[in-house]
Amino acid sequence: NNKPGNCTVTVCHSRTENLVEHTSRADILVAAIGRAHFVTADMVKDGAVVIDVGINRIPDESKKSGSRLTGDVDFESVAPKCSWITPVPGGVGPMTIASLMQNTLQACIKKDA
């Protein structure tokens, strides 16, 4: 990229026409669809950064609960193509909690000021 810091943001949803055409051009792909393993390797550009925000429970007989958490990205097929990818669980979830705690503390401080 000869212009670091510049970007074009494209917002898509699961029914966007020519979705793969859009996603496969993305340097950074944020998946928040609500469908387990929706994003597959053919949808991702080589070397992309993939941030999986999805939280889905899918059946898993090997788990005591009968299910396990997974993201919107098919991690196993997509990870080899990426320069970086967030896992589910353990990816952005802890940052969400940290941000919630920070915002709660800031609200409390403002309230008492």
Beta-bridge mates of residue 59: 67
CA geometry: angle at 15 spanning 10 and 19, to 5°?
50
Q: Could you tell me if residue 42 is inside a domain? A: yes
Q: Tokens 């026409």 appear where?
A: 17
Distance, C-alpha 45 to centroid of its chain: 15
Report the alpha-carbon distance of residue 110 to residue 112 in Å, rounded.
Answer: 5
This prediction's pTM: 0.81
Q: Could you tell me if residue 8 is inside a domain? A: no
Task: Give mean pLDDT, residues 30-43.
Answer: 96
Q: Could you tell me if residue 77 is inside a domain? A: yes
Q: Could you tell me the CATH number of the domain that includes residue 64?
A: 3.40.50.720
Task: Give mean pLDDT, residues 11-32.
Answer: 95
**71: domain range?**
19-112
Q: Could you tell me if residue 60 is inside a domain? A: yes
Overall number of domains in the chain: 1
Condensed to tens digits (0 to 9), the pLDDT of residues 39-80 reads: 999 999 999 999 999 999 999 999 999 999 999 999 999 999
Nearest residue to 19 via CA among 7, 11, 27? 11
